[in-house]
Amino acid sequence: MAVKMIAVDMDGTFLNSHQDYNREKFSKLYQQMKQQDVRFVVASGNQYYQLKTFFPEIEQELSFVAENGAYVISEGKEIFSGEIPSDLIQEVLTILADFEEGHTILCGKNSAYVGENEPDSFIEHGSKYYHRLKKVSNLSEVKNDTLFKFALSFPVEQVDEVLERLAEVLGDKLVPVSSGHGDVDLIVPGIHKAHGLMKLQELWGIQNHEIAAFGDSGNDFEMLKHAGHSYVMSNGQPNVKVAAKEIILSNDEDGVLVKIEELLEN
């Protein structure tokens, strides 16, 4: 059965270690996708305003499952937005205050927000992934935006322990997922990348078995289980490799583009 949707994670998957991709090769493949009526979907934990900068010529043609599925945009139009209730935001901020080595970005539809007391190095790191990032005196004072995700950062060696602790204290209110490099996202239960793909499937009448998905981290797990054709990068996390049908070349070997070329030829 032919593939009708190709969904790619970005960091560690589509993007190489230099935060870029083989633009010439992708451009040729993208023309083939259009000819074959295959939808190309960017599915990432990152902010929509950051993701679209990777595809300046075609961003108005593409679909984005941004913020781990909390914000879905197709051809410049909003398809879906999640939301965390304000009382839960306050509760989580109180919980996070007990995590001494953690840093927090609060993600919303209009912008992401960071406390002005966070170290400059963290704010600089955050601005790579959140092109709209506002400094505020206190995250608990953020109003007038739809807030749908917490993006946390911890020392890499603490991540497994942090994930366990967060899962314990949050219960079923928010789900902690690893997105690589010491980053942990707190997402609304049931609103993940696979949920974002489902919103687009409804729009286009595409079945699960017609989707090819590519990922490398814990936040790709549901999407990989959901797609009929699922691929994990050889540089992917070991616990994610079990979710995919096939392990492919690494992100530094154009693994995604090599596999897309194969899929389009079949």
> What positions carry a catalytic annotation?
9
Identify whether the C-beta of residue 41 lies closer than 8 Å to the C-beta of residue 63. yes
C-alpha distances (whole Å) from 32 to each of 44, 161, 253 are 23, 44, 21
Closest of 239, 220, 257, 263 to residue 43, by C-alpha: 220
**How many angstroms separate the CA atoms of 264 and 256, rounded?**
12
Distance of alpha carbon 1 from its chain centroid, rounded? 27
**How many angstroms separate the CA atoms of 151 and 21, rounded?**
24
C-alpha distances (whole Å) from 226 to each of 36, 194, 202, 222 are 22, 6, 14, 6
How many of the other CB atoms lie within 10 Å of CB of 86? Answer: 12
